[in-house]
Structure 1
């Protein structure tokens, strides 16, 4: 089969494949040139559209494409049309569009050409609209035919078409009226007014180029997309902003869309969020077509609720909002979204019906120049979710609490009322003895227990309560024969539970001849209060000896304190008796010398010298003892 059926469903796809195959037969994208790119990206079924700054380059590109189509697939490229006389003169007359040679580019006459459904005035390089003169019946079918007769893929007159769509929706709500039956009279006035306003569309002229400055000549290019919503419709419109070397900017319309909002079931915040989704869809299409980087795109909305949804990092939303927020953040970042006052957003025109005369002067086509002149866009503001407790789209905060049930009623914080380990053990022993005496199952054997037995049981009870409070997870894992968690502080000690339910240090000394308490010492957390009491008790037992003696006594009693050395050093440092015994000798600071010793004077002015003695000459007894007579001899 050499000829494909015309009008079949896959015919457009087959036509595109044939064009691409005839022009580009390369295996990889790296080998493709600008002719291949032109066919792949700028051809729509059998029409090709291309814009360029250089007349010479575009003429050369079309010629090379013409030759490659003839060589690769015997396909003739013809019906060429351009707004440049120089480009048209580069091709033979048989390849040009019909009557294109009769165009006088120096005159002001219009020359309309149809290009993908749009009316293009080649001489003035503007887009216009041409409406059908056929009168349609006032029925559902007639109304729909008039609305769809306005072909507006770029969205220039989306606010105007919105008025007809709203009338059509009201007509569809009456299910009793068939498609060819006359519509109710209450819609007649609105329909006639809207239909009459369409006549002004033929006088509407829209410049084909985005701005006066070509995109290739501008120093910087930015894409700005606005979104808005009302109870009737949602809308989004995109503008391109170009900058020259002097910093002067120009704003141009790129693409706009307007969609009817559902009749019920949607709040205004939901519709604003849908409009934001529509803005990201426009951004993806424009960025791919115009090759604008995503970082050069900014989004604007007048809904602070939507901005709170996008900037949120703490709350969770229900499915409707969550899915749309995810779709938005896949295309953009939250920092690209900005707030715009309602009076400045041009997307507001796409949410309400607008007449053609009002559309000419509106910001929908011209762009929000006043907004860019009055706002400092470099300032970024962080938005929060507005009233999350009231917003039905925000999930309620759920707090999960885990309750630990203890088998004993002792509160280890009460241990801090005791200043010594002995007083704490005696107090618990006294309570146990009294409880055993008044217990209903008390027997003589229980009452005959010695105080030593109660003291030992009290020590075990105190240590067990502290272990269960601080090492609850470790106790629970060992009771269930599960391995300890990797972040447990006791994992290096290989702890085990003994018959009394106490945590003890595991190891490899089970077969040794030493005492059982030294084989597997009981574990006591060093940060607990009883650890301080035990260290002080053992320190007093060794008569305030050093750290090694105190630590040795603790080990010999079968106790393993976590962080033992640090705790002992801290207690010894604060022990008053140890500081007195181990303190260094104090040195007396001498007073200042008297002035007599510092003043220059003759010898012996302030000092006397005993030259010869004294010598004892005569001694006599007295009633109280003896008396000596001393005589001194001074030389003359």
Structure 2
């Protein structure tokens, strides 16, 4: 197929693909040269725009592109226009645009060429905008035709067009006016527009500049792209509009970075709103949906350290929020930018912008504090048991409390239990409280028919729960004809205070016998105290009566010997003799009887 249909919807795409395929048939971008890049990035359908630092580079690129298009697709690249005489003279007149050969660069006569819808004055190398001189009726239809007659895709004269768009919006708001009805007198003159829409609530604007550095170190700022949009008539505050302008700025920057091959790290953003800077740098508070979505969009296209503050009087984008007359547009900061206002302040590189009055900002969600209240069933608490030094006294005190409580409880009928039954109930209550404090996890697992954890200290005892929800030692002798306490004794935590009270109680019952008998008494009563041997030994060691009874036999210490016993002297010097008697004693037997004699001692 050698003929392409003109005017169909896919025609521009097909034409673009054909031109690119004619000059570049490489499978990878690595193999592409400058001709491929020129056709891919600088062509729009059949128009190509390119700028080079040196004339020879431009001439070589255009000639090689002509040859590549001719060889690859028999496509002729012509209608060449340039603001350089050397470039134009390098091509034959047949390849140049019409009337381009008659250009005199030394004269002031303009030479206007259309380039992608824009009027390019080749002699002065500037874009110009021409407004139709045909008079149109001052109606909605005529006003819309005049506004759309200015084609400005890059936003050069956006502040000028803004004035007409504001008038158009005010005219549309009047539903009583038809499209061909004359507009009221208060909208007849453009010079009144500055008074009507001076406030920044009327529009938002963003503008992109590029800074070019020379080898000498000098730099120049040039206008690249600008955008001005009408703000909604209601429902938007100034901080919201400033945030929307920041979103537009990031979108324009991403667009320019893509088509000019500028890395995103070398881009800086400026705004005169500290509220917006606080939104962007915020990491502590949450926003409502409107602000949150736009901040998220900004941070996807930029980073927090790229945003800076610029005063309003030095912000060139501020001129895009209010109309500017055509007379003042030449020297407007919208086109020239501000050198000092766009320089990055090195001292403020690490400035952290905080939220401005977050407690009063309606866009910031209030800090919600959640207090968790856990309601638990009231218990006696094992710490109260430490006030007692005797098991009997503790049981007696709890039984009295239960009796008194039952008397004043409305839902409980008259209790006919005797003292023994109350004491038994008190013992169960005390034991359950001690077990709940030490083995609450094990009890909860057993209540849900689950086994205790492997890291539990009771896992070797195979604990079970009885009808009173008391932990007891499991085992294989539950079918034996023994008392329940002997078969499955109640588990008592050895570090709890009631364990010591029980040991003391049974130690006194067996008249302060030794460790083995005390341990047997505790077991016979139906209790299994964890680490019981160590506890029993400690109780016996601290028992005052046991210490007295088991004290070793004491011996009288003899006094010192007298001096006479220790001084050397002749025999019988210090000898004393005591005599008493006589005593009648049997000395011998005779035939007639016994013979007695007297003796003195």
Q: Once the two structures are superposed, what CA deviation does each residue of 1:115-173 show, in whole Å capped at 9, x if it has no partner?
A: 11222232332223222222222121221122122222221221121111111111111
Q: Which residue of 2 aligns with 1:237?
A: 207
| 1:458 is the counterpart of 2:430 | yes
Relative distance call for 1:505 and 1:161 in structure 2 (3 A) is: farther
Q: Which residue of 2 aligns with 1:137?
A: 137
Distance 2:495 2:346 in 1: 64
Indicate conservation of the 8 Å contact 1:437/1:447, yes or no: no
The partner residue of 1:409 within 362, 378, 383 is 378
Distance 1:421 1:362 in 2: 98
Query: What is the deviation of 1:88?
Result: 2.4
Relative distance call for 1:236 and 1:475 in structure 2 (3 A) is: farther
Indicate conservation of the 8 Å contact 1:110/1:122, yes or no: yes
Distance 1:517 1:353 in 2: 100
Query: What is the deviation of 1:364?
Result: 1.7
Q: Which residue of 2 aligns with 1:449?
A: 421
Query: What is the deviation of 1:2?
Result: 4.4
Structure 2, unpaired ranges of 5+:
548-565, 577-601
SS class of match (1:155): coil
The partner residue of 1:271 within 241, 251, 269 is 241
Q: Which residue of 1 aligns with 2:231?
A: 261
Larger-Rg structure: 2
Q: Which residue of 2 aligns with 1:24?
A: 24
The partner residue of 2:361 within 383, 391, 409 is 391
Q: What is the total number of aligned residue pairs between the two structures? A: 526
Deviates further, 168-177 or 280-289: 168-177
Distance 1:105 1:328 in 2: 46
Distance 2:492 2:222 in 1: 77
Distance 1:258 1:380 in 2: 31
Distance 1:382 1:517 in 2: 74
Pairing 1:485-496 to 2, within 5 Å after superposition: none
| 1:84 is the counterpart of 2:103 | no
Pairing 1:166-315 to 2, within 5 Å after superposition: 166-190=166-190, 230-243=200-213, 248-315=218-285
Relative distance call for 1:31 and 1:392 in structure 2 (3 A) is: same
The partner residue of 2:325 within 339, 355, 366 is 355
Distance 1:362 1:475 in 2: 82
Relative distance call for 1:558 and 1:576 in structure 2 (3 A) is: closer
Distance 2:199 2:446 in 1: 61
Q: TM-score, normalised by structure 2?
A: 0.73
Q: Which residue of 1 aligns with 2:60?
A: 60
Deviates further, 168-177 or 228-237: 228-237
Relative distance call for 1:162 and 1:438 in structure 2 (3 A) is: closer
SS class of match (2:314): coil
Q: Which residue of 2 aligns with 1:223?
A: none
Indicate conservation of the 8 Å contact 2:465/2:472, yes or no: no
Q: TM-score, normalised by structure 1?
A: 0.70
Query: What is the deviation of 1:438?
Result: 6.6
Query: What is the deviation of 1:277?
Result: 0.9
Q: Once the two structures are superposed, what CA deviation does each residue of 1:466-503 show, in whole Å capped at 9, x if it has no partner?
A: 766xx5xx87676566899x9x9969969987246769
Distance 1:376 1:16 in 2: 45
Distance 1:520 1:84 in 2: 109
Q: Which residue of 2 aligns with 1:498?
A: 465
Distance 2:127 2:444 in 1: 79
Query: What is the deviation of 1:391?
Result: 2.9
Q: Once the two structures are superposed, what CA deviation does each residue of 1:335-368 show, in whole Å capped at 9, x if it has no partner?
A: 3222332222221111111123433333222223
Q: Which residue of 2 aligns with 1:320?
A: 290
Distance 1:522 1:125 in 2: 100
Distance 2:5 2:218 in 1: 54
